[in-house]
Amino acid sequence: MDEHDLADLPLFGGLSRKERKRIAGWTDDVDLPEGYHLLNEGAFPYEFYVILDGEVAVTHGGEQLATLGRGAIVGEIAILEHERRTATVVAATPCRVAVMTKAAFDEMRREMPAVADSIERTARGRLSR
Query: Could you read off the pLDDT of 21-72 as tens digits, one per residue?
Result: 999 999 999 999 999 999 999 999 999 999 999 999 999 999 999 999 999 9
CB atoms within 10 A of CB 17: 11
Q: Taken in order 1, 94, 8, 101, is the CA torsion positive or negative?
A: negative
Instruction: Please write the tens of the pLDDT for every residue from 6-16.
Output: 888 888 878 88
User: Is residue 67 left, alpha or beta, with left meaning phi > 0 and alpha meaning psi from -120 to 50?
Assistant: beta
Give the domains, in start order, of the chain with CATH numbers. Answer: 28-127 (2.60.120.10)
C-alpha torsion sign, points 60, 64, 69, 71: negative
- Rg for the chain (alpha carbons), in Å? 14
**Which pTM was predicted?**
0.88
**Within 10 Å of residue 122's Cβ, how many Cβ atoms?**
16
Q: Higher model confidence: residue 69 or residue 2?
A: 69
